[in-house]
């Protein structure tokens, strides 16, 4: 728990100072007094040698305490009996007891032993006189109270530090767990994003290619070579688009037209739908300048329009579709109106399209509403703030 090197230096320096001051006349006088002083210091060194391993571990083994503390106590008794000046040994004895004992109770008992040794030493030095008794009581009592108070205070600080260290370790573990969960959540979000992007791009384009290929086959079967050639040309164009979309997914870029101007991108999607489905598509775009729109906002609008037109082609049986895109300082609004068969919005859905669109709009901080009933057509409306928050899993578009 503690560095024994500094304890060795402190004990050596303290004992050397006591010895030097004793020789200078502050300690015992005469050969017998010097011998007792030397014996006292040697016994203290022996006690320290027994207690020293406990400095490293924070608590000495019981047998070492049973030998070391009595030796320290004996050294104090001999030293003070030789000269009251050697009561200075208390300054080393009390800290040594508190450092090497395993708990507060043992430390207080050891401190009581040091105080008792001090009292006995004064009695022996004063030949059991009343003056020696009172001097011993005063010195031992004051030093005991001070040592115990200081020891309890330092122990409380040490325990507080250990608690703080434990809490920091727990907090570190919790942070690592949060990071791990965040990585797992990020991986799940990435998988969901990839599934959504594949559905919104490659899956829809491939579905269009399938329809166009079937149309070309029927046209060739009827001998309509010119119409079939035009359809095959459309298939070729869509195939190129599919390749671009696949590259966009690999590069984690938007697999939709990359124009910064929203109007041009909307018209391109409408033109593609006209070629694929052969329906009337009316486009109305009213933008009061789209410079304030983020790429994320444009991307959400285009994704939702792409999904809505795909649903019209696959499910609505409509003859015409009206696309309205409006933007002003308050936000962006997309409306897709068809004259198809409609559906029951409360009916359980098995597809991913509308749910994925709702998730995408919610991530952008917008709202999705669907107004439809069977045999009455459908009005799908998306409302977004002008600057959508950054969308996890929705990369920015890349200029073509």
320 — phi, psi (to 5°)? -150, 155
Instruction: Supply the pLDDT for residue 289.
Output: 52
Of the options 3.30.365.10, 1.20.210.10, 3.30.565.10, 3.40.50.300, the CATH number for the domain spanning 260-400: 3.30.565.10
Instruction: Supply the pLDDT for residue 254.
Output: 43
List residues bridging with 284 in a β-sheet: 324
Run of H or E including 325: strand 320-328
The span from the first CA to the last CA of the chain, in angstroms, equals 66
β-pairing verdict for 367-372 and 378-384: antiparallel
Strand order, beta sheet including 320-328: 280-287, 320-328, 331-338, 378-384, 367-372
CA angle, 45 then 51 then 53, to 5°: 120
Distance, in Å, from the CA atom of 186 to the CA atom of 310, rounded to the nearest integer, reads: 29
List residues bridging with 383 in a β-sheet: 333, 367
- How many Cβ atoms from other residues are within 10 Å of residue 283's Cβ? 17
Give the residue among 265, 339, 248 at the shortest CA–CA distance from 299.
265
Beta strands in 78-182 (DSSP E): none
Question: In a structure prediction context, what are the per-residue pLDDT tens digits for the chain, which is 400 residues long?
Answer: 566 788 888 888 888 888 888 777 776 666 777 788 888 889 988 988 888 887 766 677 888 888 888 999 998 888 888 888 888 888 888 888 888 888 888 889 888 999 998 899 888 888 888 888 898 889 888 988 988 888 888 878 877 877 888 888 888 888 888 877 766 776 676 667 666 666 666 666 777 777 778 887 888 888 888 887 888 888 777 777 777 666 655 544 444 444 446 788 788 888 878 877 777 888 888 876 555 667 777 888 888 888 888 888 877 777 888 888 888 777 888 898 888 888 777 776 555 667 778 888 888 888 888 888 877 788 889 988 876 555 444 444 333 3
Q: What is the pTM of this model?
A: 0.44
- CB-based contact 210:231 (threshold 8 Å): no
Beta strands in 94-198 (DSSP E): none
Distance, in Å, from the CA atom of 46 to the CA atom of 153, rounded to the nearest integer, reads: 29
- CB-based contact 125:78 (threshold 8 Å): no
- CB-based contact 46:73 (threshold 8 Å): no
Distance, in Å, from the CA atom of 212 to the CA atom of 203, rounded to the nearest integer, reads: 14
Distance, in Å, from the CA atom of 120 to the CA atom of 136, rounded to the nearest integer, reads: 7
């Amino acid at each position: 728990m503690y560095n024994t090197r500094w304890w060795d230096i402190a004990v050596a320096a303290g004992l050397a100072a006591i010895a030097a001051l004793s020789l200078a006349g502050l300690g015992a006088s005469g050969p017998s007094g010097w011998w007792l002083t030397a014996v006292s210091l040697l016994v203290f060194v022996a006690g320290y040698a027994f207690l020293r391993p406990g400095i490293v571990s924070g608590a000495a083994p019981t047998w070492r305490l049973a030998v070391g503390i009595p030796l320290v106590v004996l050294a104090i008794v001999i030293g003070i009996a030789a000269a009251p000046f050697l009561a200075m040994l208390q300054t080393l004895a009390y800290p040594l007891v508190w450092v090497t004992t395993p708990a507060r109770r043992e430390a207080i008992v050891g401190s009581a032993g040091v105080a008792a040794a001090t009292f006995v030493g004064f009695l022996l030095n004063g030949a059991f006189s009343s003056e020696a008794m009172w001097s011993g009581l005063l010195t031992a009592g004051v030093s005991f109270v001070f040592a115990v108070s200081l020891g309890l205070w330092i122990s409380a600080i040490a325990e507080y530090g250990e608690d703080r260290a434990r809490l920091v370790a727990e907090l570190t573990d919790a942070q690592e767990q949060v990071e791990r969960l965040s990585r797992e959540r990020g991986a799940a979000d990435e998988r969901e994003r990839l599934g959504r992007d594949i559905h919104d791009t490659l899956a829809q384009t491939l579905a269009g290619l399938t329809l166009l290929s079937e149309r070309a086959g029927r046209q060739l079967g009827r001998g309509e070579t010119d119409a079939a050639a035009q359809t095959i040309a459309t298939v070729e164009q869509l195939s190129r688009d599919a390749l671009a979309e696949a590259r966009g997914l690999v590069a984690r870029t938007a697999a939709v037209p990359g124009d910064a101007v929203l109007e041009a991108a909307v018209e391109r999607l409408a033109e593609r739908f006209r070629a694929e489905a052969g329906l009337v598509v009316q486009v109305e775009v009213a933008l009061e300048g789209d410079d304030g729109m983020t790429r994320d906002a444009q991307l959400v609008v285009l994704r939702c329009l792409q999904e809505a037109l795909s649903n019209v082609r696959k499910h609505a049986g409509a003859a015409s579709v009206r696309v309205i895109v409006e933007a002003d300082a308050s936000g962006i609004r997309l409306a897709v109106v068809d004259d198809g068969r409609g559906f029951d919005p409360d009916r359980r859905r098995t597809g991913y399209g509308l749910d994925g669109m709702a998730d995408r709009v919610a991530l952008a901080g917008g709202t999705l509403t669907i107004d439809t009933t069977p045999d009455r057509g459908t009005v799908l409306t998306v409302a977004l703030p002008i600057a959508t928050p950054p969308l996890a899993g929705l990369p920015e578009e890349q200029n073509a």
